């Protein structure tokens, strides 16, 4: 059984160590994925799944987000004032760091180009967190997922009041899969038909194609509650997660299912959902340990900062890789990974302590003040 983790930002009675550890794994996976795609550092052939599949760490974040919000909010809907408290918590959790990184990017534009090159309309969309409705309106690197998350945050109160049972969660899941599959296919076809073809495929970054992952998180919450206390159910779900995720990492599912409306995305979603249920009920030391929980506690800082750190250090990373390649071969990738992860954590630690934690504490103070009225 996993040892209790003392979180500074999650109330102890609501902390799920396995889920916290999965956040750390998701952040680590995305950083390694971008080490390959931003810095151009290729992993060894046997580990090619790092540059192929580790982007699904973002989708794992979506599933975990829906799961944890249900876990922390569903039991509070009978309390007076729960709705404004929910929005205060979400804003104070996301806005301080997001605005800080956005300000850094605008300052970088002034230094490099002598002016802010981002349109004022896009700045306004980012300040109001409505940029998720518009292609290419994001300012923060890798911040597209925040735009998607914010749309879900706005929907959650309605969902949490209407999706209350395992059956209704399953119905939502089926409907969301159909919606996501259809919109992903249509948007991808539009992307292919455009001339010139945009750099980024909106079918990956839009909210509707990602709706199913939030529904998977909601379903994971209800399925986890239904399976509590059942050893057979927990072991079956764990086995399913291991088989699906292990199989996806060993075999390129995108090559087989990628043309069929990205069915590989849904297969990944099923494995990640099972992983979430497994770790919520029976956390294992492989996921719920001091390292991954530490990373999970700082996962938002790691996520928003990692593309900046990798981009600014890619020249040095290329030098390290070239120097080690004759001695370690493609294994030099892992030395570069350790180097860049160290850099990311060097910057993520102060942003976590000086921006994230104070922002969460501010939210709690605002809620306490509102309750005292």
What are 138-194's pLDDT values in tens digits?
999 999 999 999 999 999 999 999 999 999 999 999 999 999 999 998 998 898 898
pLDDT digits (tens, 9 = 90+) for 344-365: 999 999 999 999 999 999 999 9
pLDDT at 5 over 90: no
Q: Is the pLDDT of residue 232 over 80?
A: yes
pLDDT at 199: 83
Q: Please state, in angstroms and rounded to a whole number, the distance separating the CA atoms of residues 209 and 308.
A: 26
**Hey, where are the domains in the chain?**
12-372
The pLDDT of residue 252: 82
Kindly state the percentage of the chain with pLDDT values over 90: 82
Q: Using 50, 70 and 90 to split pLDDT, how confident is the model at 372? A: confident
Bigger pLDDT: 262 or 322? Answer: 322
pLDDT tens readout for residues 285-335: 999 999 999 999 999 999 999 999 999 999 999 999 999 999 999 999 999
pLDDT of residue 10: 61
CA distance 138 to 121: 11
Question: What is the average pLDDT across 265-287?
Answer: 94
Place of tokens 């057979």: 232
Among candidate residues 320, 312, 245, the one with its CA nearest the CA of residue 278: 245
């Amino acid at each position: 059984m996993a040892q209790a983790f003392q979180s500074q930002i999650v109330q102890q009675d609501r902390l799920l160590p396995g889920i916290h550890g999965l956040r750390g794994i998701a952040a680590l996976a995305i950083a390694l994925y971008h080490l390959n795609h931003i810095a151009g550092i290729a992993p060894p052939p046997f580990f090619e799944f790092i540059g192929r599949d580790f982007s699904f760490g973002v989708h794992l974040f979506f599933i975990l987000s829906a799961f944890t919000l249900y876990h922390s909010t569903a039991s509070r809907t009978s309390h007076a004032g729960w709705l404004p408290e929910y929005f205060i918590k979400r804003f104070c959790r996301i806005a301080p760091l997001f605005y800080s990184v956005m300000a850094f990017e605008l300052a970088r534009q002034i230094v490099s180009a002598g002016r802010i090159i981002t349109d004022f309309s896009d700045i306004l969309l980012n300040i109001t967190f409505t940029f998720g409705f518009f292609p290419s309106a994001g300012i923060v690197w890798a911040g597209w997922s925040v735009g998607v998350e914010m749309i879900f945050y706005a929907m959650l109160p309605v969902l949490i009041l209407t999706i209350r049972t395992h059956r209704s969660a399953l119905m939502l899941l089926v409907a969301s899969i159909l919606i996501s599959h259809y919109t992903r296919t249509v948007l991808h076809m539009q992307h292919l038909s455009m001339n010139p073809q945009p750099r980024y495929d909106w079918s990956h970054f839009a909210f509707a194609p990602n709706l199913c992952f939030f529904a998977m998180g909601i379903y994971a919450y209800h399925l986890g509650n239904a399976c509590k206390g059942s050893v057979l159910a927990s072991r079956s779900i764990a086995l399913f997660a291991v088989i699906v995720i292990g199989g996806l990492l060993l075999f390129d599912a995108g090559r087989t299912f990628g043309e069929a409306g990205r069915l590989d995305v849904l297969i990944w979603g099923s494995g990640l959902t099972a992983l979430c249920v497994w770790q919520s009920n029976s956390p294992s030391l492989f996921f719920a340990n001091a390292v991954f929980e530490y990373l999970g506690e700082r996962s938002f800082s790691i996520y928003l900062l990692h593309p900046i750190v990798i981009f600014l250090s890619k020249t040095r990373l290329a030098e390290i890789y070239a120097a080690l390649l004759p001695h370690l071969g493609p294994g030099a990738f892992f030395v570069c990974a350790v180097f860049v992860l160290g850099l990311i954590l060097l910057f993520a630690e102060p942003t976590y302590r000086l921006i994230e934690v104070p922002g969460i504490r501010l939210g709690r103070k605002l809620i306490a003040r509102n309750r005292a009225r």
